[in-house]
Structure 1
Amino acid sequence: MKKAVKKKSYQPTDVEIARRLTLFLFALLALLLGWQSDDSFHGYVMIKHLLEGNGFVYNIGERVCATTGPLYTLSCAIPYALTREMFFTTLVLNVIYSTAAYWIFSYKICRTREQILSGFFAFSLSKAFMSYTTSGLENSLLFLFAALFIWQYMKRDFFDGKALLLLALTFSGVALTRMDAVLYFIPAIVYVYLTRRDGVSFIKCVGTGLLGLCPFFIWELFSLFYFGSFVPNTAYVKIGTGISLSDYIKHGILYYWFTFLNDALVLVVPLCFVLITLVMRKPKYLTLSAGIVMYGAYILSIGGDFMMGRHFTLMLFISVLSVTAMFNREKEPFDRIRRINGVYTVTVIAAMIWTMTFGSVVGSQYLYGHIYGSNISDEREFYFPTTGFCNNLRSLIKEGKTCWQDTWSDEGLEYIRREEFKGSIVENAAGILVYNNSDIYLNDTYCLGDPLMSRLPAAYHEPWRVGHLRRICPEEYRYSVEEDKNIISDPDLHEFYDKILIITRGELFSGERIRTILDMNLGRYDHLVESYVEHHPEILVSEE
């Protein structure tokens, strides 16, 4: 009788251990460092109104889209519908999105322990990247779509019909999450569709691409019909300022510089990837680096942002995934790849050391609120005391309530309720303030949810913050909001506001509204704003 052979117990490999350990640590770090930005509540209030039956709107009764990432915002509505609790629900959803993106990196792209660890440290030691794994903004969902795109793109040389469709659907998801983020992926998807088809005719390829983009097209048609515009209201706030391109570029350069001082990783790693692709000279990689260069130029042209490093986090993520997948794919002489990988590793380590030392101690002094403060801020540092996960959990345990609601005081809104106004234009209608007072109409001169002032040029003053440029509010417009009727005396602005009211408050399916939407998007009312500005040049200068 044969002796039973004892089976060896399963022993995970070093790679499997690294995957599991770093995945757990990544999720834990994202949660413990989790926070909610004030801007995220501009989208959350739309979710709140939607589920209360008031429509997908910023203020009740007025169809305005105040979220830059509609897919992200709508995805938050699903768990919120189940929990009816916004803060922890959306924060955990952010962690899930970011962790899922990291899972794709570590399990689907990385092959060695060293790759996993280098990627983990690049992400976890980047102040900006870890800040925007949560924050309530769309970054976390963008990380997930970027991971899906890079994984699909790098695992094959040729694409059949199914692979082309999946790539287009992922591209569509990026566009729905943040429209300008498609710049990262346009060169790659064009390259695939034109030159990397596997037995798919050009006509069928075009049809497949259009099918994959259907979710985006459907949203755009809905947005045009429902909100009266292809783009969210926030786009008008940021691009219709009247500020020159040269001024934007100057601010963009400062955004690069102050980000580098604080968090070199988010810039050094993408630069390394671009340089490596130039050395490799292969179209598959050059298209990805071209997307990074395109988005980098775009950031420069829009003046960057007021949130330190936010727009570079996706650039870092794409670069780490791409360079890792590239090294795994390459069949060139091993010594050459090893040298390139060695230079890349040393450079990344140097950037890590810079970020943890100089960036944390000296670089931070150049941010808003510090000694040499600029208009670029560490938003997490500012909001974490009241909107941080740990602080709210502690407050809930010790005091029985969360503390995020206390970020802004309701002081100053009493007169609106006392006078029984429908609402008003106030000095600062922060997102959390609007969310906490969602039963009344609130907008401010930053105009993220204001359909009229967002179409006016900004009131220029130095120093100014990208994305947070005030408009001069005509007093008669404020009274119009409070009294819920158009009492603006200037004939041009009065007529323009009438058109806005038809679009945002008129009967949804009326022929007049549809015609007004078409005319507005064709620019047939632009002359009204131009005439108003010409007769009221004082709105272009702020006393701040």
Structure 2
Amino acid sequence: MHLALTAAVALAVLVLGWLKRWTSDDAFINFRVVHELLAGNGPVFNAGERVEVATSPLWLAVLTVADAIVPGDAAPWTSVVLGLALTATAVTVASIAAARLWAKAPSWVVVPFGVAVFAALPPTWDFTTSGLETGLSFSWIALSFWGLVRWVQRDTPLAHRPVWLLVLLGVGPLVRPDFAVISGILLLFVVLVGAGRWWQRLLGLVFAGLLPVAYQVFRMGYYGLLVPNTAVAKESSRPLWSRGFVYLADLVAPHLLWVPALLALGLLAVLAPQARWLRREWILVVVVLAAAAVHALYVVRVGGDFMHARLLMPSVFLALCPVAALPVTRRHAAVTGTLLAGAAVWAVSSVFFLRIDYPDSVADSGLADERGFYAALAGVKNPITLADHGGAGVSAYTDQVNRAALEGRDEIVLQVVPVRPSTPMAVLAPSSGGMVFSVGNAGFYGVASSSSVFVVDGFGLTDPIASHIAPGPPGRPGHEKIFPAWYLLARYGAPELAEEVTPGLSDPAGVAASRDALSCGDAAQLIEATSGELTVGRFFSNVVHAPEMTSFRIPVDPTEARDQFC
């Protein structure tokens, strides 16, 4: 019965996720990197410049392998199908793991309580696809929980065995950087609770650290940073508690998430005494709940995200894992039944009624119903491919840029909003060489642009200088840094822009000061680290200087920057 009920929940996730299928602009950032990788240019956004724009290295690897195997431009549809499959797998594995955890409790039936709560949440449907790594995140959490349940139920769980579990727990930061919090807590649990001598505990940590440490060395040597460039652009180390609590409330309040949370605690209080858990099983449940809470607290600290609920959904799923499946026992059957009935009422309300309500899909706080926004923009119910999203003119506009690149024109071109198929190309200024495309939607326009077009994201995600501009006051999450025009022209503009007054453009003195600043000191080192030839010497130099390049910031005022660096 339990497996049948779990299969029904997994099927519901697949159906609801399919009905809400879509891909986001951020997903297309990954797709452009996949194209560059398969073209032999490396894991970069623009050929010739080493900038890490993919938040999830593991998801990028999965997409690259899939795109290499599946014929045609398969990345968008591959990401959708994989997202659905991975989320359904996560639901199934979490339910099976929880049933095993509760197996010693005498029961009439085991019901998939936690995964049903998860499946009833509308954000689950939105991010089952989206083209992002969310499905992979859920699967990693579920598999880790399943492995830990099996581990604690061994006669003598060892701190350095099994190796596969330690490696799995260790790759959390490669799924998402913020999962380092979860990985660290779960690994600490294994090391402290597992049996073994000190060197065996240390060996367990070595197994867990092999892949993430290897990738971190690669990141530092190849990109010259300790974190992805996106983390620098978004100032993810800056504490923004008030904005983070708004983000948390935006999930909890409209979906009445406190209702299933209280019901879950009530069910735990009633059923746990009947579970006959060993001490280490009790500790596992506490540790998993603590890891979920700490991860959610970290998301709150950094100020959340601009996509409704996205970064908190892994926390929610992890917290639900210990109660993903629960036994209906003979003892206290009435109380258990009442609590489960309450959960059923909430689930029905969530599926049919509980929704966010943002005017035009974006709230005053900057939080967005991202799927609703892009579906409305594309005029397509389920926008997946670039052709779907290009209905608003993306493809037609970028075709003009690509043709200009083929003609050998040297220009800086701007993205235009709104864009239609008839929108003419907006040329900002002559470039110092080639076509430079300054955009606000780096994903769509990045994939639509040919590799010969150098695409610069105005929010700093794809550019090592734009990402390192000193931050101003907190604004919309992920959209706070705007690449100053004088720096854009200094990096990519023709020499005369720093010498002659050009109507509508920045003062040439500001452009000249920007050029001077970028040619001196740490700014010059950053440009050389990301654009210079990658020799063995430069790789090791980047490793050594990665900490200071990560913390380095460029004043918005170019004169101040020149005085500071030169």
Bin for the TM-score computed over the shorter chain: 0.7 to 0.9
Residue among 508, 512, 519 paired with 1:494: 519
Alignment partner of 1:504 is 2:494: no
Contact kept? 1:273, 1:319, Cα under 8 Å: no
Q: 1:447 and 1:312, CA in 2 relative to 1: closer, same or farther beyond 3 A?
A: same
Q: Please name the residue that 1:93 is paired with.
A: 82
Range with bigger deviation, 215-224 or 347-356 = 347-356
Q: Provide the rounded CA distance (Å) in 1 between the counterparts of 2:531 and 2:114.
A: 49
Q: Offset of 1:162 from its aligned partner?
A: 6.5
Q: Please name the residue that 1:232 is paired with.
A: 228
* 1:430 partner letter: A
The SS at the match of 1:466 is coil
Contact kept? 1:368, 1:375, Cα under 8 Å: no
Contact kept? 2:513, 2:558, Cα under 8 Å: no
Q: Offset of 1:358 from its aligned partner?
A: 5.6
Q: Offset of 1:15 from its aligned partner?
A: 3.3
Residue among 163, 180, 183 paired with 2:181: 183
Q: Please name the residue that 2:448 is paired with.
A: 436
Q: Please name the residue that 2:459 is paired with.
A: 446
Q: Please name the residue that 2:484 is paired with.
A: 473
Q: Provide the rounded CA distance (Å) in 1 between the counterparts of 2:249 and 2:142.
A: 27
Q: 1:457 and 1:115, CA in 2 relative to 1: closer, same or farther beyond 3 A?
A: farther
Q: Provide the rounded CA distance (Å) in 1 between the counterparts of 2:194 and 2:29.
A: 41
Q: Provide the rounded CA distance (Å) in 2 between the counterparts of 1:27 and 1:524.
A: 40
Q: Provide the rounded CA distance (Å) in 2 between the counterparts of 1:368 and 1:225.
A: 45
Q: Provide the rounded CA distance (Å) in 1 between the counterparts of 2:266 and 2:5.
A: 28
Q: 1:41 and 1:368, CA in 2 relative to 1: closer, same or farther beyond 3 A?
A: farther
Q: 1:473 and 1:161, CA in 2 relative to 1: closer, same or farther beyond 3 A?
A: same
Q: Offset of 1:369 from its aligned partner?
A: 2.4
The SS at the match of 1:300 is helix
Alignment partner of 1:420 is 2:420: no
* 2:448 partner letter: N
Q: Offset of 1:357 from its aligned partner?
A: 5.9
How does 1:12-411 map onto structure 2 within 5 Å?
14-83=1-70, 84=72, 85-110=74-99, 115-155=110-150, 156-157=152-153, 158-160=156-158, 163-197=161-195, 200-239=196-235, 245=239, 248-265=240-257, 269=260, 282-324=282-324, 327=326, 335=331, 341=336, 345=340, 348-349=343-344, 351-352=346-347, 355-356=350-351, 359-360=354-355, 364-365=356-357, 367=358, 369=360, 373-384=364-375, 391=382, 402-406=387-391, 409=394
Contact kept? 2:469, 2:556, Cα under 8 Å: no
Q: Provide the rounded CA distance (Å) in 2 between the counterparts of 1:89 and 1:209.
A: 34
Q: Offset of 1:409 from its aligned partner?
A: 2.5
Contact kept? 1:253, 1:303, Cα under 8 Å: yes
Count how many residue pairs are aligned between Structure 1 and Structure 2: 499
* 2:525 partner letter: K
Q: Offset of 1:38 from its aligned partner?
A: 0.9
The SS at the match of 2:455 is strand
* Structure 1, gaps ≥5 residues long: 1-13, 538-544
Contact kept? 1:405, 1:436, Cα under 8 Å: no
Q: Offset of 1:296 from its aligned partner?
A: 1.9
Root mean square deviation of aligned Cα: 3.7
Q: 1:114 and 1:430, CA in 2 relative to 1: closer, same or farther beyond 3 A?
A: farther
* 1:448 partner letter: L
Q: Please name the residue that 1:7 is paired with.
A: none
Q: Provide the rounded CA distance (Å) in 1 between the counterparts of 2:243 and 2:299.
A: 10
Range with bigger deviation, 291-300 or 111-120 = 111-120
Q: Provide the rounded CA distance (Å) in 2 between the counterparts of 1:221 and 1:372.
A: 40
How does 1:516-535 map onto structure 2 within 5 Å?
518-522=544-548, 526=552, 529=554, 535=560
Q: Offset of 1:92 from its aligned partner?
A: 0.9
The SS at the match of 1:68 is coil
* Structure 2, gaps ≥5 residues long: 101-106, 273-278, 412-433, 499-510
Range with bigger deviation, 295-304 or 427-436 = 427-436
Q: 1:370 and 1:213, CA in 2 relative to 1: closer, same or farther beyond 3 A?
A: closer
Q: 1:453 and 1:532, CA in 2 relative to 1: closer, same or farther beyond 3 A?
A: same
The SS at the match of 1:67 is coil
Provide Cα deviations, 1:53-85, integer angstroms capped at 9, x if missing partner: 121101111111101101111111111112232
Provide Cα deviations, 1:520-543, integer angstroms capped at 9, x if missing partner: 4245994x7369679279xxxxxx
Q: Provide the rounded CA distance (Å) in 1 between the counterparts of 2:222 and 2:335.
A: 52
Q: 1:536 and 1:410, CA in 2 relative to 1: closer, same or farther beyond 3 A?
A: farther
Q: Offset of 1:481 from its aligned partner?
A: 2.0
Q: Please name the residue that 2:502 is paired with.
A: none
Contact kept? 1:428, 1:444, Cα under 8 Å: yes
* 1:473 partner letter: P
Contact kept? 2:378, 2:391, Cα under 8 Å: no
Q: Provide the rounded CA distance (Å) in 2 between the counterparts of 1:171 and 1:264.
A: 31
Q: Provide the rounded CA distance (Å) in 2 between the counterparts of 1:272 and 1:497.
A: 54
Name the TM-score, length of structure 1 as normaliser.
Answer: 0.80
* 1:376 partner letter: L
The SS at the match of 2:90 is helix
Q: 1:275 and 1:377, CA in 2 relative to 1: closer, same or farther beyond 3 A?
A: farther
Q: Offset of 1:132 from its aligned partner?
A: 1.1
Provide Cα deviations, 1:334-384, integer angstroms capped at 9, x if missing partner: 747x68855753564464355346632xxx23x362596431111111123
Contact kept? 1:173, 1:216, Cα under 8 Å: yes
Q: Please name the residue that 2:501 is paired with.
A: none
